Amino acid sequence: MSNDIVITGLGATTPLGGDVVSTWDALLAGQSGVSILEAEWVTTFGLPTRIAAQLAVDPSEVLPRVEARRLDRCEQVAVIAARQAWADSGLTADSVDPERLAVIIGTGIGGANTLLNQDDLLEGPGLRKVSPLTVPMLMPNGPAAHVGIELKARAGVHAPVSACASGAEAIAWAFRMLRSGEADVIVAGGAEAAIAGITMAGFCQARTMSTNNDEPTKASRPFDVNRDGFVLGEGAGIMVLELEEHAKARGAKVYAKLAGVGTSSDGYHITAPDPEGAGQARAITTALRTGGIDPADVGHVNCHATSTSVGDVTETVAIRKAIGEHPILTAPKGSFGHLLGAAGAVEAIVTVLSIRDSVIPATLNLDELDPGVVHDVVAGEPRKVDLKAAVNDSFGFGGHNVALAFTSG
């Protein structure tokens, strides 16, 4: 019996669109989801960065009002993307045993807005105004829990919290659970909605965010010699993964196979990557090994590249060590910013669609390639390429490294 793992459903809500189709179309069209932040606190706090990649479609336009009020924004986007992925997969309550169904949704921060808002109420009007749903709304496992309850998943509900690698780690975790026989179907991905005063202020003080406020759509520029930091974004990306035999038995469509996964840690620094890229390279190598993929067959790497001075080049060093100089690279964060814990999941979806459609999206705002990058990076226009295998990289503060290797279905 085959233990190959296939992707049968996709869902997303991002700064480029309210679903997978609109996000993919906007990405291929070279659009940007970055804009000026109109929130009063931006001016009140005197933040040097006044831009962000906000959702293209607000959750309030999708969810019933009562439901939305009971969920943090991070939970809202997870529920929206999960419902899309579930519907896209064609699964129903009758087509999967709930005891063989799991949910794994990671987040880097969780309910930041709830925490801030409820603390304001506690310190202002007082205790009586604090919502009894405060803890369920702010806890990092909230997105996974709400989706798991809705789907009646009983094989497990998990919530990896690995900073910006969280969404990708959720997908890697799903791979391992499926391979170990713990489930037949898993809904996995990442969610984040942390555009808030404290997170923005913290990143500003760390000098990791772009301050190109005058040209928001040009601020996020991975691999470009003039990049000056990332742009904070929000959103969610969810996949339905299942054992190939289970998918075949129900006649499901298949986007691609998740052939292998790899995780590692740098053991180096809380925010900076190992400049030698050793940990990142180990994760990529492990993903190829578990997938039985020859590095020569990897035609494309969808990069984590956030548009920071050190991180972008370090990633290419790791790619060169693990795969070589031949893969064609792209970095979607030029278009939709950095979605933190959701980034890896959304970018994994982009990687799957690149394989399906044989096209690699261009890296937005890449005008002059950093001389430290030796690879071919797609810029200007999307590129048609027949792909046998592609890798998606995700890295996070704390030295978390995740690589996902996909092949055509």
User: Each residue of 258-305: pLDDT tens digit?
Assistant: 999 999 999 999 999 999 999 999 999 999 999 999 999 999 999 999
369 and 398 fall within a common domain? yes
How far, in Å, CA of 174 to CA of 260, rounded?
11
Question: Which of 250, 279, 295 is the last residue before a domain boundary?
Answer: 250
The parts of the chain modelled with pLDDT lower than 70 are: 1-2
Question: Which of 250, 275, 290 is the last residue before a domain boundary?
Answer: 250
pTM exceeding the 0.95 threshold for the entire prediction: yes
Predicted local confidence at residue 1, as pLDDT: 54
392 and 271 fall within a common domain? yes
> Three-state SS for 13?
strand
Whether residue 233 lies inside any domain: the answer is yes
Whether residue 375 lies inside any domain: the answer is yes
Given a contact cutoff of 8 angstroms between Cβ atoms, the answer to whether 27 and 361 are in contact is yes
145 and 101 fall within a common domain? yes
Whether residue 243 lies inside any domain: the answer is yes
CATH of residue 29's domain is 3.40.47.10
- With pLDDT > 90 as the criterion, what percentage of the chain qualifies? 99
244 and 271 fall within a common domain? no
3-state secondary structure 201-270: HHHHHCCCECCCCCCHHHCCCCCECCCCCECEECEEEEEEEEEHHHHHHCCCCCCEEEEEEEEEECCCCC
168 and 45 fall within a common domain? yes
Whether residue 192 lies inside any domain: the answer is yes
114 and 133 fall within a common domain? yes
How far, in Å, CA of 42 to CA of 49, rounded?
8
Question: Which of 222, 250, 278 is the last residue before a domain boundary?
Answer: 250
Which entry of 74, 164, 204, 303 is annotated as an active-site residue? 164
Whether residue 255 lies inside any domain: the answer is no
202 and 60 fall within a common domain? yes
325 and 208 fall within a common domain? no
Whether residue 221 lies inside any domain: the answer is yes
Predicted local confidence at residue 242, as pLDDT: 98
384 and 243 fall within a common domain? no
The burial class, CB within 10 Å (0-12 / 13-18 / 19+), for 243 is: buried
Per the annotation, the verdict on 204 as an active-site residue is no
Q: How many CB atoms lie within 10 A of CB 348?
A: 30
How far, in Å, CA of 332 to CA of 365, rounded?
11
Number of structural domains found in the chain? 2
339 and 239 fall within a common domain? no
Whether residue 256 lies inside any domain: the answer is no
Predicted local confidence at residue 152, as pLDDT: 97
Whether residue 361 lies inside any domain: the answer is yes
Domain that holds residue 143: 5-250
282 and 402 fall within a common domain? yes
62 and 166 fall within a common domain? yes
